[in-house]
């Protein structure tokens, strides 16, 4: 299981377990931003 798969699973679990509580929304947004940032860094580091 890759880190991406884990992130997606965690986001889906957070979205379904709580009815869009502010904390769940915030953590989901943070997870997406972290994932996007990681992808951008990975692409930028490649020669």
pLDDT per residue as tens digits for the range 29-44: 999 999 999 999 999 9
Per-residue 3-state assignment (H helix, E strand, C coil) for 1-47: CCHHHHHHHHHHHHHHHCCCCHHHHHHHHHHHHHHHHHHHHHHHHCC
Q: Please say whether the beta carbons of 26 and 14 come within 8 A.
A: no
Taking residues 15-41, what's their average pLDDT?
83
pLDDT above 70 covers what percent of the chain?
83
Q: Label residue 3 by pLDDT band (50, 70, 90).
A: confident
Range of the domain at 12: 3-45
């Amino acid at each position: 299981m890759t880190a991406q798969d884990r992130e997606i699973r965690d986001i889906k679990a957070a979205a379904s377990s709580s009815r869009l509580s502010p904390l769940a929304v915030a953590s989901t947004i943070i997870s997406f931003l972290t994932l996007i940032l990681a992808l951008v860094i990975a692409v930028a580091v490649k020669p």
